[in-house]
Amino acid sequence: MPFKQLMATSQLHLDISACQRGDREAQRLLFEEYNQRVFRLAGKIVGKCDAADLTQQIFLKVFQKISQFEHQSQFQTWLYRLATNECLQHLRSRARNREFSADVDVAAKTSDSTMGLDDCELLEMAMNRLDPDLRMIFQLREIEMLNYAELAEVLQISEGTVGSRLNRARKLLREHLIDLGWES
């Protein structure tokens, strides 16, 4: 391992240990290091409107539970597992409260609504149509670049299940994109 990477790993270990002892400065540094990644993940899973509040909630949970992190996996893996669980819990809560916005589905069904949309907007609409579990696995693999072993650990499923869910997510995403008028 190169010296710079070794030092970064060592520093992160020290920061996490300091966070576990309640060091506010270490918590601030940890938040600054990871908040954009957690925000991006939350935004892709629950939507941009709820991402900021959920990111704050996730970090509150991180600092409440950081004493449970035992350094047996990478911190990022542990953090993503906690974040994805919070995101899924948020989606379930939102579904129970019937606060789902039908705007995306209504807009997607209206053929005129996709005219003039760029590929990013179409992708976001198609992603919102995916089941949250499939959306999450796709996000973690394709955006956060986790490998199959890391995905298996974060989602607590086998690597074979990771592969099959990713294939299903990609297939459904392509179908949704085509349904929305995307031309490859």
- 108 and 95 part of one domain: no
Q: What is the pLDDT of residue 158?
A: 93
Helices 75-96 and 24-46: angle between axes, nearest 10 degrees:
50
94 and 119 both lie in a single domain: no
Same domain, 39 and 121: no
Q: At which of 100, 134, 157 does a domain end?
A: 100
Which tens digit of pLDDT belongs to each residue from 66-111? 999 988 888 999 999 999 989 888 887 776 654 334 334 434 444 4
Q: Is 15 in the same domain as 96?
A: yes
Please indicate, yes or no, whether residues 96 and 108 belong to a single structural domain of this protein.
Answer: no
